[in-house]
């Protein structure tokens, strides 16, 4: 999965050039490979055992799926819809182990809904109001102001915060 994640990261076209970019087909083929690997994994294992790095793979693949659905203007693409469902199901399954998986799933759903509404011609005010409503509803289930992932505000950024580590990597232990 890591190989295909890197391919997507390296070849992901800018949003303005998505339709014209030949690299989009490389990304789409990597998404298909990631979906096949997820399905293969689920045949013999539970999603709860996926490593935390899977969350990055899932969100990268979902970004390409959302590009295809909303920027390449294939909103009714059955494959894209099916693949997004596989990604969301896997994130739901590994959310029992990783809080970040649940947050990633919610953010993907919000991005998908936001893009759908923009495509259907909702006014920006309607979209902003609905996003605020969804954020409020999510706030009831998730502490969005203080991300608990990696022990700090901003998720992995909290991991990089020197105050998080206190007296250093070993918690102030000396030789």
Provide the residue ranges of all domains of the chain, joining segments of one domain with +: 2-121
pLDDT in tens, the chain (175 residues): 899 999 999 988 876 666 667 788 899 999 999 999 999 999 999 999 999 999 999 999 999 999 888 876 665 678 889 999 999 999 999 999 999 999 999 999 998 888 888 877 765 555 555 556 655 555 555 554 444 444 443 334 443 444 444 444 444 444 4
Give this prediction's pTM: 0.67
Nearest to 50 by CA among 81, 93, 5: 93
Dihedral Cα 99, 49, 53, 81, nearest 10 deg = -80
The number of angstroms, rounded, from the C-alpha of 55 to the middle of its chain's C-alpha atoms is: 7
Residue 13's Cβ-side half-sphere holds a number of Cα atoms within 13 Å equal to 19
Nearest to 18 by CA among 59, 60, 81, 69: 69
**Dihedrals φ, ψ of 56, to 5°?**
-65, -45
């Amino acid at each position: 999965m890591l190989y295909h994640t890197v391919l997507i990261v390296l070849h992901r076209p800018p949003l303005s050039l998505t339709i014209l970019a030949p690299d989009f087909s490389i990304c789409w083929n990597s998404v298909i490979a990631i979906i096949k690997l997820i399905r293969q994994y689920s045949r013999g294992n539970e999603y709860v055992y996926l490593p935390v790095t899977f969350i990055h793979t899932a969100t990268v693949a979902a970004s390409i799926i959302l590009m295809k659905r909303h920027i390449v203007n294939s909103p009714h693409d059955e494959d894209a819809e099916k693949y997004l469902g596989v990604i969301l199901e896997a994130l739901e399954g590994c959310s029992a182990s990783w809080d970040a998986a649940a947050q990633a799933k919610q953010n993907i759903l919000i991005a998908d809904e936001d893009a759908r509404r923009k495509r259907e011609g909702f006014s920006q005010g309607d979209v902003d109001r609905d996003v605020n409503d969804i954020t409020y509803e999510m706030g009831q289930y998730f502490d969005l102001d203080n991300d608990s992932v990696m022990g700090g505000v901003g998720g992995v950024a909290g991991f990089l915060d020197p105050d998080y580590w206190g007296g250093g990597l070993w918690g102030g232990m000396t030789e």
